[in-house]
Amino acid sequence: MSSSPKPAAGRGRQILLKVGLILALGVVVRDGVSGSWGPLAAGLTAGLGALLSLQLTMVWVLVLGRFSGFAVTAVELGYGRRLLSARIGGVPVNVRRLPFPFVSVVWAPIRRPGLRWRLVVSALLQLAAQIGTGLWLLRSAPAWAFPGAMAFLVFALVMLATFNLPLTIGWVLFRMPFLPAEALTTYALRPGEELAARALRDGRVEDARAALERVADDGAPGFQSHLVHAGVDLAEGRYTEAAVEVNRALEAGPHPRYAAVAVGLRTASLVGAAETGTLPATQAVPWLGQSVGLLRTWSPMLLRSLPADADLALLENRREEAVRLAGKAAGRTVDRFWEAHAACSHAAALASVGRPEQARAELDRARRAMPGLARIALVEARIGLNVIEVDDPRESVGPATS
């Protein structure tokens, strides 16, 4: 847990959000029981329909993932700060503070025989499940016909709106059949790489590297494979190698939604290279700024869960802002890998404003999240030598040596 006090405004927003969710559910249940949907309940039910549609998809992934040709790499229950973690069947499961949305699943297709037809059959069955749920609500519970209809309508709209986004149901049904095989395989992991992805998300660096070493050299690595390799390199402090893997991933020309993930890894490699002194700050700052700009355009939500903004602020000597941004990012991270990185960024920022004890507490948090992360020792050494506290921002990212 961060040692920095939580702003009262932040606590107030969380309380209001929880109260608002309870009241909204109350209105929906009341009107559903009465069968008379008022304007407020109708609007809320549209959101409920979207949530129902999403949850049906997530349940499908969990139940029939292997049949469908993909592997689950993480499961999230709820939203907000992580309360507890566990591993179920080798998959990291995180329970978070707010139960909304209830289930979120991270998955990736695996290169197996018949992958294309597996995905098509899975997409058709998901479509049938969505239609079936709507019809069931319509016939067996007329008062809840509106939510059922909204669930299917939202599903249909999302399917049509995302048919250009690889691996979505719309893309699988309407685009993939007319594309070459490489359009799918570049987004698929080689068998065994999903184990490395799971270990990385779960903060187990040595296990992730061991899993990669066991992967058979069966076909050229694609976009997703390069991302896994880049993540493991980053965790081990091999920042140059990580940057090479990220560049190879981007050379595949992925959709911006996926490219944003690669750019997020690039920000970490730039920061690591700057902290070790292998990349001058005069180069790191503009490159990091460019990457942050891309993230802001392609995936603002992802940017908010990364410490990239905070790292850029610290490199530019905006220290108090770096402390604030890093603290926020640490509470929004999506897995242990990024939690450890965000905690390191928070520690560096705290040390730069003369709060070394709080900085060390953040490093303890990073160790709990990912004990083998190389950056922890690097930042700890820099704090001990007060390297972060120099006045010249061009020197503030210098190597942790005297």
Listed by start position, the domains of the chain span: 51-184, 189-402
Residue 37 has pLDDT above 70, yes or no: no
Peptide bond into 101 cis (omega under 30): yes
Q: How confident is the model at residue 33 (pLDDT cuts 50, 70, 90)?
A: very low
Q: What is the reported pLDDT for 402? A: 32
Q: What is the reported pLDDT for 391? A: 40
Q: What is the reported pLDDT for 81? A: 76
Which SS3 state, helix, strand or coil, does residue 6 take? coil
pLDDT in tens, 52-100: 667 777 777 777 777 888 888 888 888 777 788 888 888 888 888 776 6
Q: How confident is the model at residue 192 (pLDDT cuts 50, 70, 90)?
A: very high
Q: What is the dihedral of CA 67, 337, 269, 241, to 10 degrees?
A: -60
Q: How confident is the model at residue 350 (pLDDT cuts 50, 70, 90)?
A: very high
| Cβ neighbours for 233, distance < 8 A, ≥ 6 positions apart | 239, 241, 242, 245, 269
Cα separation, 322 vs 352, whole angstroms: 9
CB atoms inside a 10 Å sphere around CB 395: 11
Which DSSP category does 401 fall into? -
Cα separation, 268 vs 88, whole angstroms: 29
CB atoms inside a 10 Å sphere around CB 47: 14
225 token code pair:
């494979």
Q: What is the reported pLDDT for 140? A: 67
Task: Give the fold, CATH level 3, of 189-402.
Answer: 1.25.40
Q: Which residue in 331, 364, 325 sits closest to 345, CA to CA?
A: 325
Residue 181 has pLDDT above 70, yes or no: yes
Sign of the C-alpha dihedral computed for residues 374, 376, 377 and 378 taken in this order: positive
| Average pLDDT of the chain, as a whole number | 81
Mean pLDDT of all residues in 2-19: 45
Residue 139 has pLDDT above 80, yes or no: no
15 token code pair:
């309380």
Residue 326 has pLDDT above 70, yes or no: yes
Angle between helix 205-213 and 193-201 (nearest 10) = 170
Is residue 108 within 8 A of residue 191, CB to CB? The reply is no
Mean pLDDT of all residues in 317-331: 93
pLDDT in tens, 49-65: 666 667 777 777 777 77
Q: What is the reported pLDDT for 90? A: 84
Q: What is the reported pLDDT for 211? A: 95
Q: What is the reported pLDDT for 260? A: 96
Residue 289 has pLDDT above 90, yes or no: yes
Cα separation, 198 vs 392, whole angstroms: 40
